[in-house]
Amino acid sequence: MIDLPKTPSFRLDGKRALVAGASSGIGLGAAVALAEAGAHVTLAARSADKLSEALEAMRARGFSADAVSLDVADVVATEALVEDAEPFDVMVNSAGLARHGPAVETSPADFDAVFGVNVRGAYFLTRAVAKRLIAAGRPGSLINISSQMAHVGGIDRAVYSATKHAVEGFTKSMAIEWGPAGIRVNTICPTFVRTPLTEPTFSNPERVRWIKEKIKLGRIASVEDIMAAVAYLATDASSMVTGSALMVDGGWTAD
């Protein structure tokens, strides 16, 4: 009789997950995906009202969840929150900031603000969660929501693209450093996803035409397209995956 292999588990029962930027869009989708897999999810975001609504909706679905106010740009507060909590087995950082415009018009204030959230905030949040896991001697899966713009350039996106390229760089280095501790670090790189925050882009016919020309599958991505990627990277199904960028871009970067 052939000894058939078994697919690794896509479950997270008994695990604790932290999702930053969880009040809406991709972050909320990630929180739902992790909760559906059985994790207890801590939702974190700046907007108290939206966070409260998201938590209420999660609990109404029977998910195990709580919520905390968090601005990842505040490194001191971020590290204190993670240090005071039980170690998180899974982290998804979907907190992000974009101030698009021509490179010749970039102000130092906008540059610093976007880097403060997308790079500095992401770096120290990831580090904080990893430090708690290492101290507890536990493995984990740490995921930063990056972008297809981490691998290409884009119109009016010099600053944003630069921040996401930086996220890919520290992800690879952290994966190398923490691999022996069983801590995996990866990114998910979506194409344009229709969310409340991206509606201004989709209201520009020229931008929509450019987007549809670049996405080989011929459609805009949905939050649900990202949820399965989160579940995969968070669970043992991806236990041999670290230092990688999972492209969910409809073929944008295939050129």
Per-residue pLDDT reduced to its tens digit, 122-144: 999 999 999 999 999 999 999 99
**Region of poorest pLDDT, from 69-73, 76-80, 102-106, 196-200:** 196-200
pLDDT for 38-72, tens place per residue?
999 999 999 889 999 999 999 999 999 999 999 99
Query: Whole-prediction pTM value?
Result: 0.95
Find residue 18's DSSP bridge partners.
42, 91
What's the pLDDT band for 163 if we cut at 50, 70, 90? very high
Tokens of 92: 């998804």
**pLDDT reported for residue 231:** 98
Instruction: Provide the mean pLDDT of the chain.
Output: 96
What's the rounded Cα separation, in Å, for the pair 65 and 251? 34
**pLDDT for residue 98:** 92
Residue 105 Cα to chain centre, angstroms: 28
Q: Identify the pLDDT of residue 202.
A: 85
pLDDT the model gives residue 255: 83
- Looking at residue 41, what is its pLDDT? 98
Say what the pLDDT of residue 187 is. 98
Instruction: Could you please state the CATH topology (level 3) that the domain comprising 16-196+223-242 is classified under.
Output: Rossmann fold (3.40.50)
**pLDDT band at residue 197 using 50, 70 and 90 as cut-offs:** confident
Over residues 109-116, mean pLDDT:
98
User: Residue 173: pLDDT band by 50, 70, 90 thresholds?
Assistant: very high
Longest CA–CA separation in the chain, Å: 68
Q: How far apart are CA 27 and CA 16, in angstroms?
A: 16
Residue type, 57: A
Q: Where are the domains of the chain?
A: 16-196+223-242
Model confidence over 2-16: pLDDT tens digits? 999 999 999 999 999
Q: What is the pLDDT of residue 110?
A: 97
**Which of 131, 253, 241 has the alpha carbon at shortest distance from 189?**
253
Question: Does an H or E element contain 61, and which?
Answer: none
Q: Are 190 and 226 in contact (CB under 8 A)?
A: yes
Find, among 37, 14, 41, the residue nearest to 27 by Cα: 41
Backbone φ and ψ for 95, nearest 5 degrees, come out as -70, 130
CB burial string 37-64: b at 16+ within 10 A, e below: bbbbbbbbbbeeebbeebbeebeeeebe
- Which position has the higher pLDDT, 213 or 198? 213
230: confidence class by pLDDT, cuts 50, 70, 90 = very high
Give the pLDDT band of residue 198 (cuts 50, 70, 90): confident
* Choice among 88, 123, 160, 232 that is catalytic: 160
Indicate if 232 belongs to the active site. Answer: no
Lowest-pLDDT range, 105-119, 134-148, 191-205? 191-205
Q: What's residue 108's pLDDT? A: 98
